[in-house]
Every structure is written in structure tokens, then in C-alpha cells.
Structure 1
């Protein structure tokens, strides 16, 4: 079945409009680089983490953390432990930690608010350990380590810095709806080029 150029253009416009509506319903993701250093001489001593967060503010005024990578004293982070009560705090399955996986990127009222909540992040590592990184206040953070069958094994207090990499570096990354919109756009452009070539060939 051969469609007219007008019908093809109408279908393309409808597809792009649908993809745009889908994309509008989803947030872009933002990347943050976090560096923790213990100041009390205890371990864990250092954590270098990269967070991917939604850029849509959640019901508690923060941003849902979608993933975490990096390492704690060389122990590779393998996964963010999902929070079933997001954005509210939950207990970990083993009962050792309370966490929420919420990141606060903005300063409330211009004051220096902590970038992590008091429940903080919970993530797993290649060694089998679980880590909980959270804030006590705007300047002091704590990092706990626990291991299966042992419970809490390490704990330190220290400082945390968070950097939002500039655009063109890590920056914001598209979510699936954004990719769908781009793919439809490239597909539509390709379809129009093919139709023009076909019209030229028949002419």
C-alpha cells in the first residue's frame, strides 16, 4: 500500500507529538559526583561516588537517586539498594539500616542544606558489604559498613563534597522517553528522504 506524502507527514507529526507527550511525563536524569573523606581517623576512610538522580523534585523536597557507582576504600560499588518506600525512609531487609536514597541538590532558602538526608543512601559492594552514607548536619556525614553474618564492621565520620559536572562533561542524560523521541525524529527524517528519492526516481 502506497501512502501519499501528506498522509506520511501527518503520521510522522502524530508520532512525534505522542513521543513529545511521553517525554514530557518523564524527567531528565542528572549526574552528581560525591567525595567523602573521614576526619576522625576511622574506616571507611574514603568514598568516591557518582549518583544519577531524577531532576524532578519529589514529595519530600529532594531528588530520587536512581543509581550509584564508584568505590569505598577501593571496594567497588555494585548497586543502589532499592527503597520500597521511596521517597520516605525504609528499613533495609536485614534490619541494620534506615535509608531513603534521596539527594538534596538545592539549598533551602539560601542556607547550606546537606546534600544527603539523615537516612541517606544504601548501596552494596563487590565484597558483599553494605554501606550507608548519611548526614548529621550540613557539614558532618557518617559512613557505616555492614557485612552479612557480622553486622556493623566499620564506621567513620567526615566531610562530603558534591559537584554537578558542567554540561558537556557528565551533565544530564536522557531517560528512555527522550531516546524514543530522538529515534522517532531520526526515523521520520529518514522516511522523508526516502520518499523524496522515490518521487524523483518516478519523475
Structure 2
């Protein structure tokens, strides 16, 4: 009986001194947080080595002739609209193209050129501003030019615009008639001043 009690005491002591086995660690995986900055860093191309030439983006093609808001956007479009607003403060004359002779056409062109000089209008903006002061038949003429598929609006400079306008309102047939009138001009009973004015009118 004594031996059995000693055996039970030894087993109890062994259980009290036994070191417990630590639990197996569990790996915790944090959820992935999407970040534009991190994503960009993963996909961004490697920087070019020092000294290596980097191709520049293609330059925007410049417009040789007239500039119109439909051709541009953003800051350039805003600039054109501001330019038109400033120009209209000078009260430019309007050309309607009805019942006119070449004198009226030339007078309007001279008026526009004077305003261009006085207000420091750039060459590229002159056609844009001038065509905003065409009305009636003259405006219809300009619309026909724009609607013509063969017309390159960017090639119409202010000089070319004047040529087109004079060709339409001052054709060769009218020029020939004026030349004939000039040859037939006689002073008759007019004063010298009247004769000179008539001579100058036919000559120009």
C-alpha cells in the first residue's frame, strides 16, 4: 500500500513540473490597400541613364495664315475671344457688300487696317477680326469660301483675304471699264480741282 501511494505522488509531481508546448504561431496576412502612388511606382518606367537624350514631345504645328477658334482650344481660344471683345470697343465699320463699288470696299479695308495698327492687332488675328464685321451679302460670300472643300483657311493671310475680297467686288471687267473711262476723260468745263478728283478716283 505504501508503494502505491509513493507511485501516485511521483506521477502527480511529474505532471506539475512538465513544461507545456508553446502553440504554433499563426501567420497574419494584412489586406492589400490600393494606392495610386504605389501602383504608379510599380508600373513607372525606369529613369533614363544620366546623359542619355530623351525625345521631346512633338511640337504643335503653327498656323501660317488666319487663326479661328474652331482650330484651337483652351487658352488660345480664350485669347481670341478677348481680342475680339477688345477690338469691338473701337466700333469697327461693318461691310455688307450690297450696292457697292470698289471705293466702298477699299474704304472698309483701309478702315480695318487703321484699326489694326492703332490697336496693335497681330497679323494672324486680322482675318478673324475682319470677318466678324461682314454682314448680309458680304458675310454670305465669306461663308461660301469657308464651305468650299478646296479652301485652306490657314493659308488665307490678311493680304490674301484682301485679294479675294477685291476680286469679288472689283472684278477685271470693272477695272477695264474704269481704264476706258480714264482714257476718255476730258476736263471739259470742270474746274481743275474737280478734274483732279475725278482723275484720281478713276486711277485708284
Give TM-score scaled by structure 2 length: 0.20
More helix by share: 2
Which is richer in strand?
1
| Bigger radius of gyration among the two | 2
